[in-house]
Chains A and B, each alone.
Chain A
Amino acid sequence: MTASFLATRLTMLVVTVLVASLGIYGAFMLAPGDPATLLVGGARKPDPAVLDRIRAEYHLDDPFFAGWWHWFSGCLHGDFGRSLVYRDSVGHLIGERAGDTFALVAYAAVLVLVLGTAIGTVAALRGGRTEALLTAATSGVMAVPTFIMSVLLIWVFAVELPWFPVYGSGTGFGGTLSHLTLPAVALAVSWVGYVAQVTRTSVRTELRGEHVETARSRGVPESVVIRRHVLRNASGPIFAVSGVGIAGLIATTAVAEQAFGIGGLGALMIDAALKQDLAVVQAVSLLFVVLFVAVNTVVDLVSAALDPRTAQGGSR
Chain B
Amino acid sequence: MSAAAPLLDIRGLRIDLPTGAGSATAVHRVDLALAAGEAAALVGESGSGKSLTARSVLRLLPPGAEVHGELRFAGESVPGMSRTRLREFRAGEVAMVFQDPRAHINPARSVGDFLVEGLTAARGVPVREARRRVEAVLQEVGIPDAERRMRQRPGELSGGLLQRVMIAAALAAEPKLLLADEPTTALDVTTQEEVMAIVTEAREARGLAMLFITHDLELAAAVCDRVVVMYAGSTVEELPSGALHHGAAHPYTRALLASRPSVGDTASGLRAIAGRPLSGFEVPAGCSFAPRCPRARDACRTDTPLLRAAGTGTSACHYPHITEEAEQRA
Contact B108–A220 (Cβ < 8 Å)? no
Which listed segment binds A: B87-95, B230-238, B298-306, B307-315? B87-95
A-B contacts, 26 listed (Cβ < 8 Å): A209-B103, A210-B98, A210-B100, A211-B106, A217-B60, A217-B90, A218-B95, A218-B118, A218-B169, A219-B88, A219-B89, A219-B92, A219-B122, A219-B123, A220-B91, A220-B117, A220-B118, A220-B121, A228-B117, A229-B106, A232-B109, A233-B107, A308-B107, A309-B107, A309-B108, A313-B155
* Interface membership of chain B positions 165-182, coded 1 if the CB is closer than 8 angstroms to chain A and 0 otherwise: 010010001000000000
Mark out the residues of chain B between 35 and 92 whose CB falls within 8 Å of any chain A CB in the assembled complex: 58, 60, 86-92
Contact A211–B121 (Cβ < 8 Å)? no
For the complex, is A224 an interface residue (Cβ under 8 Å from B)? yes
- Please name all residues of chain B whose beta carbon is closer than 8 Å to the beta carbon of A131 when the two chains form the complex: none
Contact B104–A210 (Cβ < 8 Å)? yes
CA distance A209 to B98 in the complex (A): 13
For the complex, is A216 an interface residue (Cβ under 8 Å from B)? yes
Using CB atoms, name the residue of chain A closest to B86.
A219
Q: Which of these, B103, B156, B173, contacts A218 with CB under 8 Å?
A: B173
- Please name all residues of chain A whose beta carbon is closer than 8 Å to the beta carbon of B89 when the two chains form the complex: 219
Using CB atoms, name the residue of chain A closest to B151.
A315
For the complex, is B105 an interface residue (Cβ under 8 Å from A)? yes
**Taking chain B's interface residues, is the majority helix, strand, or loop, or is none over half, making it mixed?**
helix
CA distance A220 to B106 in the complex (A): 13
CA distance A312 to B156 in the complex (A): 8
For the complex, is A214 an interface residue (Cβ under 8 Å from B)? yes
What distance in Å separates the Cβ of A32 from its nearest Cβ neighbour in chain B?
56
Contact A211–B107 (Cβ < 8 Å)? yes
- Please name all residues of chain B whose beta carbon is closer than 8 Å to the beta carbon of A22 when the two chains form the complex: none
CA distance A109 to B116 in the complex (A): 36
Q: Top 10 nearest A-B pairs by Cβ distance?
A: A219-B91, A219-B90, A210-B103, A219-B122, A211-B106, A218-B118, A219-B87, A214-B104, A210-B104, A220-B121
Given contacts A211-B107, A216-B90, contact A221 B121 (CB under 8 A): yes
How many inter-chain contacts with C-beta < 8 Å in the A-B complex? 79
- Please name all residues of chain A whose beta carbon is closer than 8 Å to the beta carbon of B173 when the two chains form the complex: 218
Using CB atoms, name the residue of chain A closest to B122.
A219
Q: Which of these, B91, B92, B98, contacts A214 with CB under 8 Å?
A: B98
For the complex, is B138 an interface residue (Cβ under 8 Å from A)? no
What distance in Å separates the Cβ of B284 from its nearest Cβ neighbour in chain A?
32
For the complex, is A213 an interface residue (Cβ under 8 Å from B)? yes
Contact B106–A215 (Cβ < 8 Å)? yes
Binding site for B on A (CB under 8 A): 209-211, 213-221, 224, 228-229, 232-233, 306-309, 312-313
- Please name all residues of chain A whose beta carbon is closer than 8 Å to the beta carbon of B87 when the two chains form the complex: 219, 221
CA distance A217 to B103 in the complex (A): 14
Contact B88–A211 (Cβ < 8 Å)? no
What distance in Å separates the Cβ of A143 from its nearest Cβ neighbour in chain B?
30
For the complex, is B133 an interface residue (Cβ under 8 Å from A)? no
Q: A213-B98, A220-B121, A309-B155 are in contact. List 16 more A-B contacts (CB 8 A).
A: A214-B98, A217-B58, A217-B96, A218-B95, A218-B169, A219-B86, A219-B118, A219-B123, A220-B118, A221-B122, A228-B109, A229-B106, A232-B108, A308-B107, A308-B155, A313-B155
CA distance A215 to B121 in the complex (A): 10
Tell me which of B88, B95, B117 has the highest count of chain A C-beta atoms within 10 A of its own C-beta. Answer: B117
What distance in Å separates the Cβ of B95 from its nearest Cβ neighbour in chain A?
7
Contact B156–A233 (Cβ < 8 Å)? no
- Please name all residues of chain A whose beta carbon is closer than 8 Å to the beta carbon of B321 when the two chains form the complex: none
What distance in Å separates the Cβ of A239 from its nearest Cβ neighbour in chain B?
13
Contact A307–B108 (Cβ < 8 Å)? yes
CA distance A229 to B122 in the complex (A): 14
CA distance A312 to B123 in the complex (A): 32
- Please name all residues of chain B whose beta carbon is closer than 8 Å to the beta carbon of A213 when the two chains form the complex: 60, 98, 104
For the complex, is B318 an interface residue (Cβ under 8 Å from A)? no
For the complex, is B11 an interface residue (Cβ under 8 Å from A)? no
Contact A224–B103 (Cβ < 8 Å)? no
What distance in Å separates the Cβ of B325 from its nearest Cβ neighbour in chain A?
42
- Please name all residues of chain A whose beta carbon is closer than 8 Å to the beta carbon of B109 when the two chains form the complex: 228-229, 232
For the complex, is B292 an interface residue (Cβ under 8 Å from A)? no
